[in-house]
Amino acid sequence: MSSYLNMDFGHDLIDNGTKDDYYTPPWVFEGLGLTFDLDVCAPSGGVPWIPAVKSLTIIEDGLVTPWKGKVWMNPPFSNSKPWIMKFIEHGNGLCLVPASNGRWWIDLWQKADAILALPPGMKFVTGGGLAEGISRPVFLAAMGAENVSALKSSGLGHVR
């Protein structure tokens, strides 16, 4: 995992010029070893290393489109609340979110089946394919037995 912390990913993803254009790095998915039915917050064309059968983009609007099966969610950090509420209601998947003092964070903390803090200094992949960190701690939250099991066996950190 540490070899990924300062890596240039060399992928051209969609860069909308917003602070939300940060994508989960490949090592997270390598650790989880899961295939998701749906990536609910994907850029146009998806992210090449996210193991999801289908992706929802801003065009399909993951907040409006029904979710089915096991979902992956890295929501827009600028407006995570509606995504977290839908994730909790759906109850099957994994999400990556920043720590927050918002009520949605307390709801997720109390309702998630498992939560794991990712390493400090974690780098995301930008729309231009570069590795960049953010200023807040980041967590994975799991809902559903299969997702909790994957989180526990991932080697990504301590699971509560």
- pLDDT at residue 126, as a whole number: 87
- pLDDT at residue 13, as a whole number: 52
Q: What is the C-alpha separation between 5 and 121, in angstroms, rounded?
A: 7
Quick count: other Cβ atoms within 10 Å of Cβ 38? 24
- pLDDT at residue 3, as a whole number: 38
Sign of the C-alpha dihedral computed for residues 94, 95, 99 and 101 taken in this order: negative
| Cβ–Cβ < 8 Å for 114, 151 | yes
- pLDDT at residue 2, as a whole number: 37
- pLDDT at residue 19, as a whole number: 60
CATH T-level topology, domain 2-153: Rossmann fold (3.40.50)
- pLDDT at residue 10, as a whole number: 47
Q: What is the C-alpha separation between 52 and 40, in angstroms, rounded?
A: 10
- pLDDT at residue 127, as a whole number: 82
- pLDDT at residue 97, as a whole number: 96
Q: Which two tokens stand for residue 137?
A: 């701690």
Q: How many CA atoms lie within 13 A of 139 on its CB side?
A: 18
| Cβ–Cβ < 8 Å for 43, 74 | no
Q: What share of the chain is helix, strand, coil (3-state, %, to 5)?
A: 25, 25, 50
pTM check: above 0.85: yes
Provide the residue-wise pLDDT of the chain in tens; the chain has 160 residues: 433 333 444 445 555 454 667 899 999 999 999 999 999 999 888 899 999 999 999 899 999 999 999 999 999 999 999 999 999 999 999 999 999 999 999 999 999 999 999 999 899 998 888 899 988 999 999 999 999 999 999 999 999 9
Phi, then psi, of 100 in degrees rounded to 5: -150, 160
